[in-house]
């Protein structure tokens, strides 16, 4: 592994490799004269490799300039003061030109002479550029935010000091002041885009707008006193090394920024959504009801699954998975000695007090903190490598806890920020132990997202762009696959956790049915909620939040189960083909070694994969 600099970048960029290859070539010439002194030569890099190394490096650096928020999340803090209006026409045109020029350069390189790794990375980059260009042809920027993921929510998380925006030095604080002022401008541009969408009939469902109004006008953000805003928290935690004069200056600057930029921006968005946008919002649920919506949904299906599966095919797969998992649930119901229908069993799991043993949020977090030691023996048997990035378990912040799902926030590649497993606990006494706590940890933390994302970011053999690439079908598919091997890793020994794991799997299977139902088959929000309530252990409030999430992000919910089924099938095919030569830890290593890949590319690699000859005892 190569060392990294303070931004998490490899200190061996393409130009260093070129110098090294020239030196090796020189040594090769000298070795003809003095073979007993110099080592055997190493083949010089091909012109194709040099061109690809240069292209990969320049693509990543230019990408960070265009998307500085992502740079901050990646641990590169050179652009922490920047926040472009990414929904504006000028920025979108610059992005389009950037993608087109990069793709043109890539297509001019003869890949036949490149190394296997560079050929693979070129294939991935070509796929990524083509998909991004196709996405730019959509009108999704007419809906610049929604209730589940949006820049206002990200800014609130960053500005509170609980996310990737650092607050360690005076410069860090100055950076955030500049970004806060830029967010004020972004909020005005968002209103303009929403209005254009209203003119085109391209608007959000009414119920989602109602959720957004509550978020924008949350008292933790919009308050009469800047000191009461969550944006004041970095001032409450000013580092001791900042001297007294700077502390006074920064305190005054933050008071003005919160009062003059941040609170007005959120109030502006909330007022606009309430007074103008809500009356124009639609009563339909799926994107298929929008002009051109069915064609757009076909794109999102391809984008999120990285396959050519049709919505109808995915719907049928979902129905089959629901039927299979239902049968397994009935078996656990019988083991737990409960008589009655499966629906009655779900009601029993949701309402019986014995399944709600927690009294405080700390007790819930402690349950998760006990899982890593329990997993350790299984991890030793199933994995060759572990991430260096540490993991922290935290409660989700109060300002987003009511609408948030459990999630993983990646650490910084340079080790300056740990990976974080966030768990919302709005009411500890209602936290149900049969909700799939072990499977949730396997998915969001170890060995799910934390292993996959950390190993990818730490892998300096990959080009920088590939260390931070994300495909939902691979990343979420891997995390759900990790849930499916919970028993192999030593969990699910309690039927309460087994039914929880099955519930989580059922939840992802239902998504295949519900997402396609909403966006392709014309289902209403109420139909989707009813289907979820009928087939899984879920409270109505949770079912409502889930369905509204699918309404906001068409196709995203498909990535989990499609990806898990694909990775499980790849494992089975490799095991059948290799027989006794199959090695589970080497299989996992092969799946993870090149970072996030589209499923079609990963499948092609594994079709001819051969594990190393040694250590095939697993």
In order, the DSSP letters of 472-503 are HHHHHHHHHHHHHTTTTTT---SHHHHHHHHH
CA distances from 394 to 41, 218, 389, 397, 407 (A): 52, 22, 16, 9, 10
Give the ranges where 293-396 is alpha helix by DSSP (H): 293-305, 311-335, 342-351, 361-369, 371-382
C-alpha radius of gyration, the chain, whole number:
26
Nearest to 415, CA basis, from 26, 131, 75, 153: 75
What span, in angstroms and rounded, lies between the C-alpha atoms of 525 and 285?
6
Looking at residue 280, its pLDDT comes to 98
Q: Crossing angle, helix 558-578 and helix 472-484, to 10 degrees?
A: 70
What span, in angstroms and rounded, lies between the C-alpha atoms of 72 and 83?
11
Nearest to 408, CA basis, from 163, 128, 145, 146: 163
What span, in angstroms and rounded, lies between the C-alpha atoms of 352 and 121?
52
Which segments of the chain have a pLDDT < 50? 1-43, 615-618
Q: What is the 3-state secondary structure (H, E, C) of 3-60?
A: CECCCCCECCCHHHHHHHHHHHHHHHHHHCCCCCCCCCCCCCCCHHHHHHHHHHHHHH
What span, in angstroms and rounded, lies between the C-alpha atoms of 377 and 424?
29
Q: What residues have CB less than 8 Å from 363, skipping those under 6 apart?
A: 357, 428
Model pTM greater than 0.85? yes
Say if residues 546 and 148 touch (Cβ distance below 8 Å): no
Looking at residue 44, its pLDDT comes to 58
- For the chain, what are the domain ranges? 46-138, 151-283, 297-563
CA distances from 480 to 254, 374, 532 (A): 42, 19, 19
What span, in angstroms and rounded, lies between the C-alpha atoms of 564 and 474?
8
Q: What residues have CB less than 8 Å from 109, skipping those under 6 apart?
A: 48, 51, 52, 55, 122
Task: Give 419's DSSP letter.
Answer: E
What span, in angstroms and rounded, lies between the C-alpha atoms of 353 and 333?
17
Looking at residue 504, its pLDDT comes to 94
Are β-strands 419-423 and 391-395 bridged in parallel, bridged antiparallel, or unpaired?
parallel
Looking at residue 417, its pLDDT comes to 87
Say if residues 540 and 554 touch (Cβ distance below 8 Å): no
H or E element that contains 395: strand 391-395
Looking at residue 271, its pLDDT comes to 98
Say if residues 46 and 114 touch (Cβ distance below 8 Å): yes
Say if residues 595 and 358 touch (Cβ distance below 8 Å): no
Look-up of token digits 């590169």: 76
What span, in angstroms and rounded, lies between the C-alpha atoms of 393 and 385?
21
Q: What is the 3-state secondary structure (H, E, C) of 136-197?
A: HCCCHHHCCCCCCCCHHHHHHHHHCCCCCCCCCCHHHHHHHHHHHHHHHHHHHHHHHHHHHH
Looking at residue 539, its pLDDT comes to 84
Beta bridge mates, 90: none
Say if residues 428 and 452 touch (Cβ distance below 8 Å): no
- What backbone phi and psi angles, to 5 degrees, belong to 77? -105, 20
């Amino acid at each position: 592994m190569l060392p990294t600099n303070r931004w998490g970048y490899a200190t061996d960029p393409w130009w260093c490799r070129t110098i090294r290859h020239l030196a090796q070539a020189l040594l090769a010439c000298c070795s003809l004269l003095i073979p007993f002194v110099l080592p055997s030569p190493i083949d010089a890099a091909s012109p194709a490799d040099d061109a690809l190394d240069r292209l990969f490096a320049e693509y990543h650096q230019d990408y960070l300039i265009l998307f500085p928020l992502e740079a901050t999340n990646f641990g590169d803090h050179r652009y922490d003061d920047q926040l472009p209006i990414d929904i504006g026409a000028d920025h979108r045109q610059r992005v389009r030109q950037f993608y087109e020029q990069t793709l043109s350069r890539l297509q001019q390189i003869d890949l036949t002479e490149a190394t296997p790794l560079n050929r693979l990375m070129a294939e991935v980059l070509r796929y990524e550029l083509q998909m991004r260009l196709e996405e730019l042809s959509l009108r999704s920027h007419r809906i610049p935010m929604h209730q589940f993921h949006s820049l206002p929510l990200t800014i609130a998380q960053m500005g509170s000091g609980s996310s990737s925006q650092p607050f360690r030095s005076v410069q860090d604080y100055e950076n955030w002041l500049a970004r806060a002022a830029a967010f004020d401008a972004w909020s005005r541009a968002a209103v303009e885009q929403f209005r254009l969408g209203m003119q085109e009939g391209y608007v959000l469902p009414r119920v989602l707008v109602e959720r957004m109004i509550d978020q924008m006008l949350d008292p933790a953000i919009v308050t009469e006193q800047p000191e009461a805003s969550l944006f004041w928290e970095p001032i409450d935690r000013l580092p001791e090394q900042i001297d007294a004069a700077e502390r006074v200056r920064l305190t005054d600057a933050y008071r003005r920024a919160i009062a003059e930029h941040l609170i007005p921006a959120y109030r502006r968005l909330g007022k606009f959504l309430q007074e103008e946008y809500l009356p124009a919002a639609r009563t339909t649920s799926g994107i298929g009801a929008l002009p051109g919506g069915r064609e757009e949904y076909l794109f999102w299906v391809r984008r999120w699954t990285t396959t050519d599966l049709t919505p109808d095919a995915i719907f049928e797969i979902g129905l089959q998975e629901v039927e299979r998992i239902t049968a397994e649930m009935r078996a656990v119901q019988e083991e737990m000695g409960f008589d009655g229908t499966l629906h009655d069993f779900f009601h029993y799991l949701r309402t019986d007090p014995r399944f709600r043993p927690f009294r405080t949020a700390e007790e819930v977090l402690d349950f998760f903190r006990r899982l890593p030691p329990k997993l350790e023996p299984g991890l030793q048997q199933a994995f060759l490598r572990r991430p260096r990035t540490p993991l922290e378990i935290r409660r989700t912040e109060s300002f987003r806890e009511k609408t948030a799902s459990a999630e993983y926030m990646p650490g910084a590649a340079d080790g300056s920020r740990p990976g974080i497993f966030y768990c919302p606990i709005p009411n500890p006494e209602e936290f149900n132990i049969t909700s799939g706590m072990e499977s949730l940890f396997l998915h969001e933390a170890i060995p799910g997202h934390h292993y996959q994302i950390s190993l990818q970011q730490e892998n300096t053999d990959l080009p920088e762009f590939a260390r931070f690439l994300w495909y939902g079908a691979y990343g979420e598919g891997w995390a759900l696959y990790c849930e499916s091997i919970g028993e192999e890793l030593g969990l699910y020994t309690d039927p309460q956790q087994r039914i929880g794991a099955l519930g989580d799997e059922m939840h992802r299977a239902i998504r295949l049915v519900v997402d396609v139902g909403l966006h392709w088959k014309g289902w209403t929000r109420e139909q989707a909620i009813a289907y979820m309530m009928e087939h899984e252990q879920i409270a109505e409030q949770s079912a409502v939040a889930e369905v509204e999430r699918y309404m906001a992000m068409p196709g995203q919910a498909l990535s989990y189960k499609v990806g898990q089924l694909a990775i499980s099938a790849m494992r089975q095919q490799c095991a059948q083909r290799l027989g006794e030569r199959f090695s589970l830890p080497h299989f996992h290593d092969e799946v993870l070694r090149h970072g996030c890949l589209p499923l079609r590319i990963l499948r092609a690699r594994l079709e001819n994969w051969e594990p190393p000859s040694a250590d095939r005892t697993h």
